Amino acid sequence: MSNMKKAHFIVEGRVQGVSFRWFVRDSAIQLGLTGTVKNLSDGSVDVYVEGAESRILDLVQIMRKGNGISRVDGIHEKWEDSTQEWQTFTILF
């Protein structure tokens, strides 16, 4: 499937200590995506995601909107072809 993609996002803003990782995980699972999410030491959140490109774009919009507590100031994106690296979407600690 040519529309299957892998994307890496660094999400900046008020995204730690506000349940943002759980919000991203739940949203990704609802969209049928796989990957990981984790906090980084600089206060940003690291997201790797794989699935249909349109669903990943939906997740980007959901992340930009936030969970009502978070504030997203920016998202750095890197896209590539899917490697089918993950079977589920998990939070890394």
Is 33 in contact with 25 (CB distance < 8 Å)? no
User: Between the CA of residue 15 and those of 58, 59, 93, what are the distances in Å?
Assistant: 18, 15, 15
Separation between Cα atoms, residue 66 and residue 54, nearest integer Å = 19
Residue 81: CB atoms within 10 A of its CB come to: 9
Catalytically annotated residue among 39, 64, 67, 71? 39
Look up 3 and say whether it is catalytic.
no
Look up 25 and say whether it is catalytic.
no
Catalytically annotated residue among 21, 25, 55, 67? 21
Active-site positions read: 21, 39
